[in-house]
């Protein structure tokens, strides 16, 4: 018997041949076994493309499951904290799923493709958990990560580009909607979703058509400022949008070693995703207890004075001395908001909206380190929240 | 007669900034503007079909980030997007690129001279040191060196301390830097003519001086001391054109309860019993206020909008002799497509940057010779950009707006007014120079607007269309700006203030004069200072 050894190198996305052509930076990192670019031309310009015109980001390495069968809805509804019965075909739901202790295992998007058929996309891999959760249900779960590729097209001109691409009816696609469109004679699935907090879409297609999609998209976008975009730019956009990233704002519960390092949805500001009126979902009892007794942690959005980025900073309730009450998980100077922003996690009761906290920032200038205590205000809304994100049809260019 | 706590004259970016701070402090503020649009030279104009022109100022770097943040200009719609790099086209078919990527930039300079490529590092550090020094003072009121008031002594000591902090060697360098010519300064670093020509442009922009004239090294600094998101020296475009800056400022001002009136030019600033009493509009209407803040340039303010009898003789003459000479023009073009530049490699990032067409120091100086002879440069220095490469809002898809800043261009031709024919010829000069490097450029032109210093003055009001409201030479900087003894935003009459770019720290879309003037006004009114402080140590 001859066994083919598993691939020892990094996977290349089906878009890789085109990415390699345009790449000037030669800065790649690993994302779930794939080579993924930090950036292609200039990470600053790529970031601005998502806020000013459009950035195309390769989301192929996302873990993707196809969930089908008569019990698919029951399975998902029991799995996640959100009420999946409200998510009709043609809609997409952001959701989290928890372990029995109410700790978040992961977050992801669930696409209701058609009656009884779903796609779930997440950062991490979950076949073991899903199979266990599916015991006794008539549901089929297939990992289609390596069959389906995806491109996120994000930014104000993204709608005009898809229009130019000839996706008739794309103007009617609402936020968190999905639909199939004719693309060169066959279907392409497009959802109005993304990780930038701006107007944007995700396009999903089988691997064999990746190059065809890339070429058509960049041709359609040539007068609309389309730019390929790497992870560095996306990371900035997602912080401005106030979105959580696994391993930054939370750890998938199954990966934690130390007690108390996992987080509940309530602690992550995701109570709106938890529907206690559902009779059963995993973690319900624990979350009900937490709701009654209070959470330990709270995720906060911080608007920090000055312009020194608060990377890895401790957060204090008072300016001078005292014990810290939390730490920053993601920080940046926001070029579009012109604000010094951060996401952080603090112990309750600290971190109510409007609270003033203090962030201890270390910054380096010409080898020497300096320290500043900067006042930080806890804010409610995403830092970047343009109305175009919500408007249907979106404004054309 | 209607009355306000304060009237700000002119809704340019400094007027609006000043008005916003006064309104934010709780004062009842009216801002009046002579045109039917706001922004002054900070404007986006729809002059042809669906094209928007940044038809005066066209790029943004100096706008103080402290003010940008404090007045919530982002929330009010302002977005500044950086652009990178650029090229100088050479007569021999070569080009000199300027790249955002450090190593690529090194390689490009090394293509001409390894020594110059190395020297660029030292040059950048030396210029950055000067930037760091001057940036400390942008949001501060200059001290009066002849005053013994504690406030002035303290500020003078602060200035001295920052100066001494540089160390002996660098103190000498600094004094030389502030007074020498850009050509001499560049000679200390570089040997390649085209590299010096490329860098010298920043030393003469908006200034009626040549690259060999003393004082032009500082002008270079004025173009380096800005930033985009902490990247000092970077330049960007306001999305939607430069007018987006004024629009955001105006929304901010109005969010604090301020009132804005366009088509309300001021005929005269009224003085009663030696004190400011309000303004008389050209419509005949009089509006009273104990405080009047002029955002106009210093000549307009005192020579045109005040009764000479309200001003002292020496003051009046100093204002008359303030240097605010017309030195540059503007050609704004709507294009049917993107012009090609065959000298640059296909797909090069240089195609997205600014473009220049003078490749030698000799040609730079010759361009100035024409101005001294009372005419426009026949081989001008052009700073050409295509904001629509990154901004999808200023022209239809696939179409472009081209902005050409052109130097030198005098306010008068041999002492007399421009004729229409000469204005056209000036435009042709610009078109021809670009067309030498872009074969399809002329065929793509759909519409163009040619602006000489005098047309800018006629429309916007700025004396001789000088982009900085007065030249940025040592005799007109810091406590000398606009004139000694009046560098703290206070006019010679009680209740009269100045907040335009004729004041420290000078021109460009900086908003610092407007903000600094507001701080002085609030101090005089014994109200809390709500203006932002420097972010510090950047």
Count, residues in chain B:
538
Tell whether the model's pLDDT for residue B2 goes beyond 90.
Answer: no
Contact state of A306 with B536 under an 8 Å Cβ cutoff: yes
Angular region, B86: left φ>0, alpha ψ -120 to 50, beta rest: left
pLDDT band, very low/low/confident/very high, at B1 (cuts 50, 70, 90): confident
Judged by CB atoms closer than 8 Å, whether chains meet at B392 and A48 is answered as: no
Q: Give the pLDDT band (50/70/90) at residue A186.
A: confident
Beta-carbon pairs below 8 A across chains A and B: 64
Bridging pattern class, strands A178-183 and B400-407: unpaired
- Nearest chain A residue to B84 by CA: give it: A45
Q: How many other C-beta atoms can be found within 10 angstroms of the C-beta atom of residue B28?
A: 14
* Nearest residue in chain A measured CA to CA from B103: A25
**Angle at which helices A43-52 and A231-241 pack, to 10 degrees?**
50
Report strand pairing: B29-32 vs B259-261: parallel
End-to-end CA distance of chain A: 60
Closest listed residue to residue A116, CA positions, set A145, A93, A147, A84: A84
Token pair belonging to A87: 């998510």
Rounded to a whole number of angstroms, the distance from the CA of A360 to the nearest CA of chain B is 16
**Nearest-angstrom CA–CA distance, A41 and B83:** 13
Question: Which residues on chain A are in Cβ contact (under 8 Å) with B397?
Answer: 160, 164, 223-224, 397
pLDDT 10s digits, B165-174: 999 999 999 9
Mean pLDDT of B282-289: 96
Peptide bond just before A268 cis, omega within 30 deg? no
Contact A52 B392 (CB under 8 A): yes
Cβ contact (<8 Å) for A44 and B398? no
Q: What is the pLDDT of residues B393-446, one digit of tens each?
A: 999 999 999 999 999 999 999 999 999 999 999 999 999 999 999 999 999 999
Determine the Cα–Cα distance for residues B58 and B382; give it in Å rounded to an integer.
13
For B178-215, letters b (16+ CB in 10 Å) and e give bebbbbebbeebbebbbbbbbbbbbbbbbbbbbbbbeb
Residue in chain B lying closest to A25 (CA):
B101
Structural domain spans, chain A? 16-62+146-241, 296-382
**Which residue from B63, B229, B65, B96 is spatially nearest to A43, judged by alpha carbons?**
B229
B68 touches A: beta carbon within 8 Å: yes
Distance from CA of A375 to the nearest CA of B (A): 13
What is the distance between the alpha carbons of residues B50 and B45, in angstroms, rounded to a whole number? 10
Q: For residues A366 and B226, what is the distance between their CA atoms, to the nearest angstrom?
A: 20
Residues of B in contact with A383 (CB under 8 A): none
Predicted local confidence at residue B84, as pLDDT: 79
Distance (Å) from the alpha carbon of A93 to chain B's nearest alpha carbon: 29
Question: What does the alpha-carbon distance between residue B96 and residue B357 come to, in Å, rounded to a whole number?
Answer: 10
- B528 class by beta-carbon count within 10 Å (0-12 exposed, 13-18 middle, 19+ buried): exposed
Q: CB–CB of B69 and A338 under 8 A?
A: yes
Interface contact A42-B349, CB threshold 8 A: yes
**B466: closest CA among B221, B298, B215, B227?**
B298
Q: B327, B349, B363: which is closest to B436 by C-alpha?
A: B363
Of residues A45, A157, A365, nearest to B392 (C-beta): A157
**Predicted confidence (pLDDT) at residue A322 exceeds the cutoff of 90:** no
Tell me which chain A residues have a C-beta less than 8 angstroms from the C-beta of B389: 225
The pLDDT of residue B375 is above 70: yes
How far CA B16 is from CA of B247, B305, B518, B532, in Å, comes to: 9, 19, 11, 16
Domain A16-62+146-241: CATH architecture, name and number where available:
2-Layer Sandwich (3.30)
> Residue B11's closest CA among B458, B329, B495, B460?
B460
* Mean pLDDT computed over A227-246: 97
- For B390, the closest of A225, A336, A365 (CB atoms) is A225
A45 interaction partners in chain B (CB closer than 8 Å): 82, 84, 390
Residue B182 has pLDDT above 70, yes or no: yes
Which residues in chain B have Cβ-Cβ distances shorter than 8 Å to A52? 79, 81, 239, 390-392
Confidence check: pLDDT of B183 > 90: yes
Chain B residues whose beta carbon lies within 8 Å of the beta carbon of residue A223: 397-398
Q: What is the share, in percent, of chain B residues with pLDDT greater than 70?
A: 100
Structure tokens at A64: 């993707």
Minimal Cβ distance to B68: which of A51, A338, A365: A338
Interface test with B, best of A338, A361, A381 (most B CBs within 10 A): A338
The C-alpha R_g of chain B, in whole angstroms, comes to 22
Calculate what percentage of chain A has a pLDDT beyond 90: 98
Average pLDDT over residues A196-210: 97
Q: Do A52 and B101 touch (CB under 8 A)?
A: no
- A42 and B536 within 8 Å at the Cβ level: the answer is no
Contact yes or no for A42 and B538 at CB 8 A: no
Residue B81 binned pLDDT confidence (cut-offs 50, 70, 90): very high
CB < 8 Å from B in window 36-65 of A: 41-42, 44-45, 48, 51-53
> Smallest Cα–Cα separation from A109: which of A141, A129, A87?
A87
What is the chain B residue with the closest CA to A306?
Answer: B535
Average pLDDT, chain A: 97
Provide the 3-class DSSP secondary structure of residue B492: coil
B128 touches chain A (CB under 8 A): no
Section B96-115 average pLDDT: 96
B6-42+57-80+239-322+471-524, CATH topology level: FAD/NAD(P)-binding domain (3.50.50)
- Kindly state the tokens that stand for A170: 């794309």
Cross-chain Cβ contact A397/B393 below 8 Å: yes
**Partner residue opposite A52 with nearest CB, options B84, B101, B391:** B391
Q: What is the pLDDT of residue B538?
A: 61
Residue A209 CB neighbour total at 10 angstroms: 16
User: What ranges in chain A are assigned the alpha helix state H?
Assistant: 16-22, 43-52, 72-79, 127-133, 158-164, 210-220, 231-241, 284-293
Residue in chain A closest to B347 (alpha carbons) equals A22
Q: How would DSSP label each residue in B238-271?
A: ETT-THHHHHHHHHHHHHTT-EEESS--EEEEEE
Position B536 confidence tier, pLDDT thresholds 50, 70, 90 = confident
Could you tell me which residues come within 8 angstroms of residue A185 by beta carbon, excluding any fewer than 6 positions away?
Answer: none
Q: Compute the average pLDDT of residues B233-261.
A: 97
Provide the shortest C-alpha distance from residue A202 to chain B (in Å).
Answer: 21
Q: Which of B349, B390, B397 sits opposite A223 (nearest CB)?
A: B397
Please calculate the CA angle A7-A23-A204 and round it to the nearest 5 degrees: 65
Which distant-in-sequence residues (6+ apart) come within 8 Å of A69 by Cβ?
A75, A116, A137, A138, A139, A140
**Partner residues linked to A154 by β-bridges:** A55, A200
Which residues, 6 or more positions from A305, have their beta carbon under 8 angstroms from its beta carbon? A340, A374, A375, A376
How far apart are alpha carbons B133 and B224 in whole angstroms?
12
Q: Which of A22, A27, A48 best probes binding to B when mutated, by most B CB atoms within 10 angstroms?
A: A48
B346 touches chain A (CB under 8 A): no
Banded model confidence at residue A159, pLDDT cuts 50, 70, 90: very high
Beta strands of chain A (E only): which ranges?
A: 27-31, 34-39, 54-58, 63-68, 92-98, 104-114, 117-122, 140-143, 148-154, 178-183, 186-191, 200-206, 226-228, 297-304, 314-316, 326-334, 339-347, 356-365, 368-379
ipTM of the complex: 0.93
Inter-axis angle of helices B512-524 and B13-24, nearest 10: 30
B-contacting residues in A 292-321 (Cβ below 8 Å): 306-307
pLDDT at residue A28 greater than cutoff 90:
yes
Q: Is B85 on the interface with A (CB under 8 A)?
A: no
On whether any CB of chain B is under 8 Å from the CB of A224, the answer is: yes
Q: Which two tokens stand for residue A233?
A: 């730019």
Q: What span, in angstroms and rounded, lies between the C-alpha atoms of A160 and B348? A: 25
**How close A119 gets to chain B, by Cα (Å)?**
34
- Per-residue model confidence (pLDDT) at position A128: 97
Angstrom distance (rounded) from CA B7 to CA B226? 29
- B397 contacts A160? CB cut-off 8 A: yes
| Superfamily of domain A296-382 in the CATH hierarchy | Aminomethyltransferase beta-barrel domains (2.40.30.110)
The answer to whether the CB atoms of A45 and B392 lie below 8 A apart is no
């Amino acid at each position: 018997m001859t066994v083919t050894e598993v691939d020892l190198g990094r996977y290349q996305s089906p878009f890789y041949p085109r990415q390699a052509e345009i790449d000037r930076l030669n800065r790649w990192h690993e994302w779930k076994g794939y080579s993924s670019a930090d950036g292609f031309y200039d990470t600053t310009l790529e970031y601005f493309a998502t806020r000013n015109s459009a950035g195309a980001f390769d989301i192929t390495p996302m873990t993707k499951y196809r969930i089908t069968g008569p019990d698919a809805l029951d399975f998902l509804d029991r799995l996640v904290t959100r009420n999946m019965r409200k998510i009709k075909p043609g809609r997409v739901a952001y959701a989290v799923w928890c372990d029995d202790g109410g700790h978040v295992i992961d977050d992801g998007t669930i696409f209701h493709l058609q009656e009884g058929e779903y796609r779930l996309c997440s950062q991490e891999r979950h076949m073991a958990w899903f199979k266990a959760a599916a015991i006794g249900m008539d549901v089929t779960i297939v990992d289609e990560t390596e069959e389906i590729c995806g491109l996120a097209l994000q930014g104000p001109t993204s709608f005009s580009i898809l229009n130019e691409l000839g996706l008739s009816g794309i103007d009617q696609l609402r936020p968190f909607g999905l639909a199939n469109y004719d693309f060169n004679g066959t279907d392409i699935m497009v959802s109005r979703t993304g990780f930038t907090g701006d107007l944007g879409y995700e396009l999903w297609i089988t691997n064999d058509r990746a190059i065809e999609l890339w070429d058509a998209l960049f041709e359609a976008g040539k007068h609309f400022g389309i730019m390929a975009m790497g992870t560095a730019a996306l990371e900035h956009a997602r912080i401005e949008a106030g979105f959580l990233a696994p391993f930054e704002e939370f750890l998938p519960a199954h990966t934690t070693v130390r007690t108390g390092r996992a987080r509940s949805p309530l602690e992550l500001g995701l109570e709106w995703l938890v529907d206690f009126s559902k009779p059963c979902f995993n973690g319900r009892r624990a979350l009900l207890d937490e709701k009654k007794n209070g959470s330990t942690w709270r995720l906060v959005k911080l608007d920090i004075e000055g312009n020194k980025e608060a990377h890895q900073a401790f957060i204090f309730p008072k300016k001078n001395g005292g014990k810290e009450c939390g730490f920053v998980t993601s920080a940046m100077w926001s070029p579009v908001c012109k604000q010094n922003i951060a996401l952080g996690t603090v112990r309750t009761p600290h971190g109510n909206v409007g609270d003033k906290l203090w962030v201890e920032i270390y910054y380096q200038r010409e080898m020497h380190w300096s320290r500043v205590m900067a006042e930080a205000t806890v804010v409610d809304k995403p830092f970047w929240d343009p109305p175009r994100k919500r408007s249907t049809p979106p404004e054309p260019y | 007669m209607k009355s306000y706590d304060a009237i700000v004259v002119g809704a340019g970016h400094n007027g609006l900034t000043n008005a916003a701070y006064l309104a934010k402090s709780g004062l009842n503020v009216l801002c009046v503007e002579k045109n039917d649009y706001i922004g002054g030279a900070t404007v986006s104009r729809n002059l042809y079909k669906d094209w928007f022109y940044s038809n005066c100022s066209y790029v943004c770097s100096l706008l103080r980030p402290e003010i940008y943040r404090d007045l919530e200009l982002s929330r009010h719609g302002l977005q500044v997007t950086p652009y990178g790099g650029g090229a100088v086209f050479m007569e021999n078919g070569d080009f000199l690129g300027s790249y955002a990527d450090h190593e690529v930039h090194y390689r490009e300079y090394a293509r001409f001279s390894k020594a110059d490529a190395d020297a660029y590092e030292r040059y950048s550090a030396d210029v950055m040191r000067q930037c760091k020094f001057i940036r400390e003072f942008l949001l501060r009121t200059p001290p009066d060196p002849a005053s013994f008031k504690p406030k002035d002594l303290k500020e003078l000591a602060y200035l001295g301390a920052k100066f001494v902090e540089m160390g002996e060697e660098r103190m000498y360098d600094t004094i030389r830097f502030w007074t020498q010519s850009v050509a001499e300064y560049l000679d200390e670093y570089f040997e390649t003519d085209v590299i010096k020509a490329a860098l010298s442009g920043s030393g003469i922009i908006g200034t009626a001086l040549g690259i060999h004239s003393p004082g032009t090294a500082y002008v270079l600094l004025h173009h380096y001391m800005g930033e985009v998101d902490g990247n000092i020296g970077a330049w960007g475009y306001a999305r939607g054109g430069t007018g987006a800056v004024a629009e955001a400022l105006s929304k901010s001002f109005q969010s604090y309860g301020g009132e804005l009136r366009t088509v309300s030019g001021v005929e005269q600033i009224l003085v009663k019993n030696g004190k400011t009493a309000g303004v008389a509009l050209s419509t005949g209407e009089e509006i009273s206020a104990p405080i009047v803040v002029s955002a106009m340039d210093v000549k307009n303010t005192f020579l045109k909008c005040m009764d000479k009898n309200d001003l002292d003789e020496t003051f009046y003459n100093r204002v008359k002799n303030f240097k605010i000479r017309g030195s540059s023009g503007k050609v704004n073009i709507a294009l049917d497509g993107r012009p090609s530049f065959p000298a640059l490699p296909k797909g090069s990032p240089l195609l997205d940057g600014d473009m220049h067409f003078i490749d030698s120091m000799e040609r730079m100086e010759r361009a100035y010779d024409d101005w001294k002879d009372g005419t426009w440069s026949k081989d001008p220095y052009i700073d050409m950009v295509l904001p629509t490469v990154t901004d999808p809002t200023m022209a239809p898809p696939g179409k472009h707006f081209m902005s050409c800043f052109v130097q030198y261009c005098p306010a008068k031709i041999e002492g007399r007014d421009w004729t229409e024919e000469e204005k056209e010829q000036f435009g042709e000069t610009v078109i021809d120079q670009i067309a030498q490097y872009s074969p399809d450029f002329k065929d793509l032109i759909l519409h163009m607007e040619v602006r000489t210093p005098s047309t800018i003055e006629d429309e916007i009001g700025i004396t001789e269309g000088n982009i900085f409201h007065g030249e940025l030479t040592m005799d007109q900087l810091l406590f000398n700006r606009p004139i000694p003894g009046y560098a703290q935003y206070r006019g010679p009459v009680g209740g009269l203030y100045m907040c335009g770019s004729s004041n420290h720290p000078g021109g460009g879309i900086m908003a610092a004069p407007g903000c600094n003037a507001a701080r002085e006004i609030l101090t005089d009114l014994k109200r809390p200072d709500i203006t932002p402080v420097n972010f510090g140590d950047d």
